[in-house]
Amino acid sequence: MQTNSQLIDLFLEQLWLLEGLSDNTRAAYQTDLTQYAGWLQQQGQSLLQARRDDLLEYLGWRLQQGYKASSSARLLSALRRFYQQALEQGQITEDPSALVDMPKTRRNLPDTLTEADVDALLEAPDVDEALGLRDRCMLEVLYATGLRVSELTGLKLDEISLRQGVVRVMGKGSKERLVPMGEQALDWLERYLARGRPLLLGGKASDVVFPSQRGQQMTRQTFWHRIKQHAQTAGIIKPLSPHTLRHAFATHLLNHGADLRVVQMLLGHSDLSTTQIYTHVAQMRLQALHAEHHPRG
């Protein structure tokens, strides 16, 4: 009989083969399932022996321990997939997670920049310097494409097409997508590749589009630090996050009438509900503008 640890490893391996599970999700599922298995073991149970009451008791225990609802929702998502696979393989006859409700999570609306804020941020880097030119190009590409910061910093030369004006991105779960850049981002990219990048590399060979000052792949933390510096220069006092320009990209597209499913494809969201949060941001802005400017607002 397989141990809980072996069952978890086999489940994650099969899920990775079938769906291309991302490293972060795989690690999170591993932690969640291992913790639940450990709790079950203390109750004299195993993953395949667990019943619905066991799962409900564990979720209640997590609530008492102060775990966030979003964390328990992720756990339940992992367990549903685990037990569905076990059911299909004949390891169990009943899914203990089937009738358990997903914990209610509160989805925070992302802070977003106005179009004027974005213009000020893009103008902040000193493009007469190689680092400033690189940063301006990164900000332009980020706002034009809505890439995740990790996707931007990991971008390779063979993943951009200047002729077609697109970026080929390998996103979460090893899912590939093509994203158009637009003329302005493309112009800055051509300028940076010709003038800025060679100076940063100093003759070193590299396929990284946006190398660090040492000619290596830039970390997300370094780019986040650069964004905060440029935001300060631009006089932006709103709270920012590494995904600030990604949020602005989505919100501004929707404000200008883009179809929600198109925005979903560009962002690389597998679930439309993840993209729908941006429609709330756009709607709230419309309501605020109406209240501010309408004579009976």
In this predicted model, which residue has the larger pLDDT, 64 or 170?
64
CATH code of the domain covering residue 262: 1.10.443.10
Position 274 scores a pLDDT of 53
Q: Find the catalytic residue in 74, 136, 243, 252.
A: 243
Whether residue 227 is found in the same domain as residue 265: yes
Whether residue 84 is found in the same domain as residue 121: no
Determine the 3-state secondary structure of 150 from DSSP: helix
> pLDDT for 3-20, tens place per residue?
989 999 998 988 887 777
Position 125 scores a pLDDT of 96
143 assigned to some structural domain? yes
Q: What is the mean pLDDT of residues 274-282?
A: 54
Burial profile 205-226: b = 16 or more Cβ within 10 angstroms, e = fewer: eeebbbbbeeeebbeeeebbeb
Confidence band for 269, pLDDT divided at 50, 70 and 90: low
Position 250 scores a pLDDT of 81
Specify the number of domains making up the chain: 2
With a CB cutoff of 8 Å and minimum separation 6, the contacts of 136 are 122, 125, 127, 188, 192
What CA–CA distance (Å, rounded) separates 61 from 258?
44
Q: Find the catalytic residue in 148, 226, 247, 252.
A: 148
Whether residue 125 is found in the same domain as residue 69: no
105 assigned to some structural domain? no
Confidence band for 286, pLDDT divided at 50, 70 and 90: very low
Determine the 3-state secondary structure of 79 from DSSP: helix
> pLDDT for 176-198, tens place per residue?
778 888 899 999 999 999 999 99
C-beta neighbour count of 159 within 10 angstroms: 17
Whether residue 132 is found in the same domain as residue 182: yes
Beta bridge partners of 170: 176
Judge contact between 93 and 51, C-beta under 8 A: no
Question: Quick check: 229 pLDDT over 80?
Answer: yes
SS3 per-residue string spanning 219-275:
CHHHHHHHHHHHHHHHCCCCCCCCCHHHHHHHHHHHHCCCCHHHHHHHHCCCCHHHH
* The overall pTM is greater than 0.95: no
Question: Quick check: 293 pLDDT over 60?
Answer: no
Question: In this prediction, what percent of the chain has a pLDDT beyond 90?
Answer: 35
Q: What is the mean pLDDT of residues 141-149?
A: 87
What CA–CA distance (Å, rounded) separates 22 from 16?
8
Question: Quick check: 203 pLDDT over 60?
Answer: yes
Whether residue 80 is found in the same domain as residue 183: no
What CA–CA distance (Å, rounded) separates 261 from 283?
17
184 assigned to some structural domain? yes
94 assigned to some structural domain? no
Backbone angles phi, psi at 273, to 5 degrees: -65, -25
Whether residue 27 is found in the same domain as residue 153: no
Q: What is the mean pLDDT of residues 224-241?
A: 88
Instruction: Tell me which range, 95-109, 132-146, 229-243, is most confidently predicted by mean pLDDT.
Output: 132-146
Whether residue 268 is found in the same domain as residue 151: yes
Question: Quick check: 296 pLDDT over 50?
Answer: yes
Judge contact between 102 and 80, C-beta under 8 A: no
- The DSSP element (H or E) to which 157 belongs, if any, is none
Question: In this prediction, what percent of the chain has a pLDDT beyond 70?
Answer: 82
Question: Residue 79 belongs to what domain range?
Answer: 4-88
Whether residue 253 is found in the same domain as residue 161: yes
Q: At what angle do helices 52-65 and 69-88 cross, to 10 degrees?
A: 160
Q: Is 246 a catalytic residue?
A: yes
CATH code of the domain covering residue 66: 1.10.150.130
Q: Is 278 a catalytic residue?
A: yes
> pLDDT for 68-105, tens place per residue?
888 888 888 889 999 998 999 999 999 998 878 776 65
> pLDDT for 112-137, tens place per residue?
788 899 999 999 999 999 999 999 99
Q: Find the catalytic residue in 26, 52, 80, 172.
A: 172
Determine the 3-state secondary structure of 294 from DSSP: coil
Q: What is the mean pLDDT of residues 30-46?
A: 91
What CA–CA distance (Å, rounded) separates 180 from 185?
10
Whether residue 158 is found in the same domain as residue 215: yes
Position 131 scores a pLDDT of 95
Question: Quick check: 56 pLDDT over 50?
Answer: yes
Arithmetic mean of pLDDT over the chain: 83
Question: Quick check: 292 pLDDT over 90?
Answer: no
Q: Is 243 a catalytic residue?
A: yes
Judge contact between 124 and 132, C-beta under 8 A: no
Whether residue 199 is found in the same domain as residue 80: no
Q: Is 192 a catalytic residue?
A: no
Q: Is 148 a catalytic residue?
A: yes
